[in-house]
Structure formats: structure tokens, C-alpha cells
Amino acid sequence: MTPFAITQGDPAGIGPETIAKAFRDAPSELRGFFAVGDLATLRRAAHCIARPGEPELPVALITDPAEAWAVPPRCLPVLQLPGLPGPQPFGQVRAEAGRAAADCVVWAARAALRGEIAGLVTAPLHKEALHLAGVHYPGHTELLQAEAAAHRGVALADMPVRMMLASDELRTVLVSIHVSLRAALEAVTCENVLQTLQITHAALQRSLGRAPRIAVAGLNPHAGEGGLFGREEIEHIAPAVAAARAQGLHVTGPLAPDTVFMRARHTSARQGEFDVVLAMYHDQGLIPVKYLGVDKGVNVTLGLPLVRTSPDHGTAFDIAGQGVADASSLIEAVRMARELA
């Protein structure tokens, strides 16, 4: 049984302490998982979450991923990467912290691509710290895309990936990710929308065991209202939907973006009309999922030749080190990684 890695994230944020909480509070879910990072940083995290009258979570050093299976429940196994800095000051944006976070992701991505681990769960990193460290990628998704392309020996454009944010109530996939709103509008082309539909269909067909029902959100209010509020739906989105249908995909749209997420939402009272909503840009798709509960959301990268999930929150520098961070989203990311693998 191949183990899974959890990258420590930015050591100045809440990533390490959510990892420690997950190993303490959900030991059955974390069987076969280990943390990649700095041993002293993870031990500091275990100390941060210690509860009065209870023993502190033990943190064990491992030297090989396979050793994670031998670590007893409620013990955090850590694979120490060489060259990582020790614990960083909480809540501070630092190049050293950004470099440490990136190094952990790169190691885990390469291990997954070589088949040494079954997948990776990434604790949050800080984009400004990445930039200070000289990492020329705005986030996890782009960094993993570059690693996968290099591993396959193909150009970056030949390794298209997309971000999906998923919870038990709603899934959304984005046409564009970490770009300005102006650049996101320019990315709404027939080619990009069709490629996103193809990636979404392939990924969800594997996980659902059937063709997913995909709703496509419009870009403009009321999906353009027949061209009154913009022509992107007519000139780009609708042709992509038609092309996807011609390929046998179960696609509906473009639909009014102010109601499509409600129609797709799955609750105990009603089944959603769709399995996933294709959103035209970052905030259009992520706000609905995050509003329903950040503790339930999981970030999944689609299109990669590896399994990668992540909690749906950031580094939360304002509460780092206080032991109050919620590990629920990380635990959900662990569950989804296991399901996808």
C-alpha cells in the first residue's frame, strides 16, 4: 500500500498545526499519511495544539515514506527534507518560509510522479512569501503543472490543468485561476472553455463512475441576455458548449451565473440538478463554495498525472501559533485524496 504525503505549507502559518490536529483527532483517516517538512516545525505545531491534562502529540522522524504505515495512531510521522530552515516566526511573510513551502511541494510532486507516494495533500502556502523566495509560480496549481510537464518532457501548454473546489454540497471548476480579473476575462475563449469541459468530464467520470452533468455559468449578468449585456456567451461560451455536446459530454449552458450554483447545490432535502458548475473565473466559482463552509471545501487539481488535494483556506497568519485553527478542511482533503487514488 503506497503512502500519501502532506506538505507542511508555510511554516509561519497554520498549516503545521492543522496537520498536527488532523493526526491527533482523525487517526483512522490519517493511516498511511506522513508530513513532509521540518521536524522542529512540526514539533512546535504539536506543542501549539497541546491540551491541558493530555500528553502532547508525539512526532516521529521517518526516513522513507513506507515507514508511515508502521507509525502508531495519534503519532505524526515526519519526513525531514534536507536544507529546510527551522521554525519561522508566526505570522510573518518571509522568503525562507516561502522557499521551505515550495521545496516540500516539489519533493512531494516528484515522488508522486515517480510512483513512490499515492498522492499529496498540500497545506496552505503564502503567495507573497513564494514571490520573495524567487518562486516564479503564483500558487500550488501552477507549480505542480510545471513539475508534471517537466516529468513528462512536454511544454507547459501541453499539460493543461484546472482547479476544482469541492464540498459535499457543491463542486466548481474554473476556466482561469490566479490571474487578474482583466486577464480572466480575456481567458474566456471557446478553446479554453472547451478544454476546461474536457478536463472536467474526464476527471469526474473517473471519480463518479459515470458521465458528469456539467453546468456552464455565463460570464455576464443573466448570461448576457441574448447579447444585451455582452457577447462572450454568444461568441465563445455557447460554441464551446455545442462542441462539447458533439463530443458526447453532458453539458448545459451558458446559464445565469447568479442562479446556477443554487441549482447545482446538493442538500439533504434535494438533489442538485448538476454534478459540477464550470465557472468563468476565480471568484465567480470559489465564493459560492466557500460561503457554504470553508471547513468543508477541498481544492483539487484536475488534469495532473497525480493526485493532489488541498484544504480550502489560506495560511491565516493572524491566528498562527495559537492552536485554534480548524483542521476540518485538511481532513476532508485527506479523505478526498484517498478516494481519488
pLDDT tens for 48-72 read 999 999 999 999 999 999 999 999 9
Q: Please give the model's pTM, rounded to 2 decimal places.
A: 0.90
Give CATH for domain 4-159+304-340: 3.40.718.10
> In 10 A of CB 73, how many CB atoms?
11
pLDDT of residue 136: 87
pLDDT tens for 296-341 read 789 999 999 999 999 988 999 999 999 999 999 999 999 999 988 8
pLDDT of residue 297: 86
Same fold for the domain at 4-159+304-340 and the one at 168-287? Answer: yes
pLDDT of residue 1: 84
Sheet architecture: strand order including 4-7: 59-62, 76-80, 33-37, 4-7, 120-122, 308-311, 298-302, 162-166, 171-174, 276-279, 214-217, 251-255
pLDDT of residue 95: 97
Q: 333 with 22: CB under 8 angstroms? A: no
Instruction: Walk along the chain (341 residues) and give the pLDDT tens digit of each residue.
Output: 899 999 999 999 999 999 999 999 999 999 999 999 999 999 999 999 999 999 999 999 999 999 999 999 999 999 999 999 999 999 999 999 999 999 999 999 999 999 999 999 999 999 999 999 999 888 888 899 999 999 999 999 999 999 999 998 999 999 998 889 999 999 999 999 999 999 999 999 988 999 999 999 999 999 989 999 999 999 999 999 999 999 999 999 999 999 999 999 999 899 999 999 999 999 999 999 989 876 778 999 999 999 999 998 899 999 999 999 999 999 999 999 998 88
pLDDT of residue 177: 86
Q: What Cα–Cα distance (Å) separates residue 83 from each residue in 35, 113, 199, 205, 235?
A: 16, 22, 37, 41, 51
Q: Round to whole Å and give the CA distance between 29 and 258.
A: 36
> In 10 A of CB 307, how many CB atoms?
20
| Domain chopping of the chain, boundaries | 4-159+304-340, 168-287
pLDDT of residue 319: 97
DSSP string over 86-106: -PPPTT---HHHHHHHHHHHH
At the second CATH level, the architecture of 168-287 is: 3-Layer(aba) Sandwich (3.40)
Q: Round to whole Å and give the CA distance between 317 and 283.
A: 22
Kindly report the CA angle at 113 between 107 and 114, in degrees rounded to 5?
90
Nearest to 300, CA basis, from 121, 113, 180 = 121
DSSP string over 128-161: HHHHHTT--SSSHHHHHHHHHHHHHT--GGGS--
